[in-house]
Amino acid sequence: MFASKSLLEHVARGLVGLGALAAAALLAPSSPWAALALLPVALVALRGCPMCWTLGLIQTVRARAARARGEEPPEGSCRSCEPGSAAPAARSR
C-alpha cells in the first residue's frame, strides 16, 4: 500500500520529506508562510505522515526480501486474512 518500487526510491522520498519537515520547523519562527508551503511538500514526499513512510519502508524491505527468495511479494494484506484461511478470532477458539 505504502511501499515503493525500490528501496533507494523510498529512502530518497524519506530524505526529501523529512528534510522538508525539518526546514519547516526551522523556518516557522522567522517565516511562517514558507514553513506552511513546505508542509504539503513533506506530506506528498512521505505519502502521508512519517508513520505512513515508516510502514512503507517496512513493506518495501519485506517485498525486496521476498523477491530475493524467489517468492511473490505480499500485496499488502495480512496472511491470516487471505481467502480460505480462518479468521484470527475463529482460530483462537
For residue 42 the three cell numbers come to: 513533506
pLDDT at 85: 44
| pLDDT at residue 63, rounded to an integer | 85
**The residue type at 93:** R
pLDDT number for residue 76: 55
E strand residue ranges, the chain: none
Q: Which pLDDT score, from 0 to 100, does residue 21 have?
A: 94
pLDDT computed for residue 30 by the predictor: 96
Nearest Cα neighbor of 16 from 42, 55, 50 is 42
- Report the pLDDT value the prediction gives residue 72, as an integer from 0 to 100: 75
pLDDT of residue 2: 62
* Alpha-carbon distances of 74 from 3, 12, 29, 30, 78, rounded to whole Å: 11, 23, 44, 46, 8
For position 71, what pLDDT does the model report?
Answer: 79
Average pLDDT per consecutive 10 residues, the chain (93 residues; last block may be shorter): 78 94 95 95 90 88 85 58 45 44
